[in-house]
């Protein structure tokens, strides 16, 4: 009899987990976005151009929350050409990329972060930019002025 009692005790946490997930039928994505303020480069046709040796900075990432519920972003993980380059756990979630050691050409800068909003499932925010590293300032497109720009990211639900 004791043997069956212990089996029932072992199964009890599984029953609790199954019932805790029962209200997840409402998998709505919260109405949020992620803004990135980036400086040190020239924005041209949705891409960033940087002179080799200059620093490209993500000055801040911020959550734009239109749900009227409390929300926050978690740690931001950064990737350069699909390789992990760092994680920042504190606001404003900034990052500096030194382009001195990067080859001239097109690169991919990505950031992903969990987004927590009350009464919604955990979501993931993604931001990505193509970064073109050029040899000289003469190769910068447009008027060549280094700019700071705020841009929106993409929000997806956790799978």
pLDDT category at 34 given cuts 50, 70, 90 is confident
Whole-number pLDDT of residue 15: 45
Whether pTM > 0.85 for this model: the answer is: no
Question: Distance between terminal CA atoms of the chain?
Answer: 42
Across the chain, mean pLDDT equals 78
In a domain, 12, yes or no: no
Task: Give the lowest-confidence range in 21-30, 47-56, 70-79, 145-154.
Answer: 145-154
Handedness of CA 87, 92, 96, 97 (dihedral sign): positive
Task: Spell out the residues 6+ positions from residue 101 whose beta carbon is closer than 8 angstroms to its own.
Answer: none
- Using the predicted structure, report yes or no on whether residue 38 has a pLDDT greater than 70: yes
In a domain, 132, yes or no: yes
- The first and second tokens of residue 30, run together, are 């919260």
pLDDT category at 154 given cuts 50, 70, 90 is very low
In a domain, 23, yes or no: no
**Which CA distances in Å does 53 have to 49, 80, 82, 109?**
12, 16, 21, 16
Percentage of residues of the chain with pLDDT beyond 70:
72
Angle 118-159-13 from CA coordinates, rounded to 5°: 75
Stretch 31-43: mean pLDDT, rounded? 85
Q: What is the CATH number of the domain that holds 114?
A: 2.60.40
In a domain, 123, yes or no: yes
According to DSSP, the residues that pair with 150 across neighbouring strands are: 37
The DSSP output letter for 11 is: H
| Tally of domains within the chain | 1
pLDDT category at 73 given cuts 50, 70, 90 is very high
Q: 99 vs 23, which has greater pLDDT?
A: 99
- Using the predicted structure, report yes or no on whether residue 2 has a pLDDT greater than 60: no
In a domain, 134, yes or no: yes
Task: Compute the half-sphere exposure of residue 153: CA atoms within 13 Å on the CB side of its CA.
Answer: 30
Stretch 126-144: mean pLDDT, rounded? 85
Q: 116 vs 28, which has greater pLDDT?
A: 116
Beta-sheet pairing, 71-73 with 55-65 = unpaired
In a domain, 82, yes or no: yes
Whole-number pLDDT of residue 155: 46
Residues spanned by the domain of 81: 30-157
Whole-number pLDDT of residue 28: 83
Helix H or strand E segment including 8: helix 2-20
């Amino acid at each position: 009899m004791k043997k069956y009692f212990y089996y029932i005790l072992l199964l009890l946490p599984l029953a609790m987990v199954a019932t805790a997930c029962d209200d997840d039928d409402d998998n709505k994505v919260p109405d949020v976005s992620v803004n990135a303020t980036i400086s040190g480069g020239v924005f041209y046709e949705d891409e960033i151009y940087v002179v080799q040796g200059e620093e490209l900075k993500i000055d801040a990432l911020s959550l734009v929350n239109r749900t009227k519920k409390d929300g926050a972003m978690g740690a931001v993980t950064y990737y350069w050409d699909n390789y992990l380059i760092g994680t920042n756990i504190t606001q404003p979630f900034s990052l500096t990329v030194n382009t001195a050691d990067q080859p001239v050409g097109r690169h991919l800068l990505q950031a992903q972060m969990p987004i927590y909003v009350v009464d919604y499932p955990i979501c993931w925010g993604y931001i990505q930019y193509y970064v073109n590293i050029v040899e000289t300032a003469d190769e910068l497109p447009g008027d060549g002025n280094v700019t700071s720009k705020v841009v929106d990211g993409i929000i997806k639900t956790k799978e």
